[in-house]
Amino acid sequence: MIPKSSIPVFVYPAAVLSMLFWGMSFVWSTQVLEYYSPITTILLRLLISSVLLFLLLKPFGLIENIRKEHLGLFLLSALFNPFLYFIGENYGLKLTTPTVSAVVIATIPVLTPVFAYFLLKEKLTIFNYIGIMLSFAGVVIMLMGKDLTLDVSAVGLGFLFFAVITGIIYSVLLKKLTVHYNALTIITWQNILGFIYMLPVFLIMDVSTFLEIKPGPGAIRSLILLAVFASSGAFILYTIAIKYLGVNKSNVYTNLIPVITAIFSFYIIQEEFTMNKLAGILVVVGGVFLSQIRSRNKQIIK
């Protein structure tokens, strides 16, 4: 890890901005989903982002070519994210709310060590266990209505947890790719491959209805914001944060995502909030934070 005195001042705003864009993405997606289906929304988002990243980064040599021996790993990782992950997230978002979606998705860094324990033999700490229990308690609190029954769509919740699982598997595959390629290369090629995966699904399910839809200016604006800031800018800014702060310290900033989503959902799309939701958000954020703590006696991999 780079010494704190050597970290440029722009790194911390970069980390916060990346979380701002990802937190806002749930609100932007909700606005686009008022017109387009989840499949069309994903396809257009990946198309715009892929073209933008490739045109901006390739001329400067920031995107490497995929080597033949790693093509299978790229294809598999892109299958899980963005293809399967975005399907789960967008269908879950369509059937629930931005805040519920953001809070459930925020459990990914909490549950990733569990999968890493079984797949990569990485040890779990006491903070991992506490974080897992707190995060799930927070989700349950937030999803329960006044009569202690489920207050959101069970199908939507199922899609969101499907996104969580695919996101976790992706993170394990990503760890193998980062040994051989820089983050910008991985992000760009995975968006391109995700678009290729999504195209036949779009042609079978959505192409006829897509041609009939006339989206409003707000939906078009939100789609562009999604592609430019959430799928492109946020990843670039987060890469900067990881370079200087390391993975563990950068992950702490993910606590901001559900809070940002909640605030902007309230002001932009007037999402209703109850005490259950607010309490659940706080408990989940606390669980995510605790899950990122490492014992001082253990070496932190940067």
pLDDT value at 2 more than 60 = no
Name the more confident of 289 and 79: 79
Three-state helix/strand/coil letters over the chain? CCCHHHCCCCHHHHHHHHHHHHHHHHHHHHHHHCCCCHHHHHHHHHHHHHHHHHHHHHHHCCCCCCCHHHHHHHHHHHHHHHHHHHHHHHHHHHHCCHHHHHHHHCCHHHHHHHHHHHHCCCCCCHHHHHHHHHHHHHHHHHHECCCCCECCCHHHHHHHHHHHHHHHHHHHHHHHHCCCCCHHHHHHHHHHHHHHHHHHHHHHHCHHHHHHCCCCHHHHHHHHHHHHHHHHHHHHHHHHHHHHHCHHHHHHHHHHHHHHHHHHHHHHCCCCCCHHHHHHHHHHHHHHHHHCCCCCCCCCCC
pTM of the model: 0.85
Please, what is the average pLDDT of the chain? 85
198-242: per-residue pLDDT in tens? 999 999 999 999 989 999 999 999 999 999 999 988 888 887 887
Q: How confident is the model at residue 34 (pLDDT cuts 50, 70, 90)?
A: very high
Q: How confident is the model at residue 248 (pLDDT cuts 50, 70, 90)?
A: low
pLDDT value at 158 more than 70 = yes
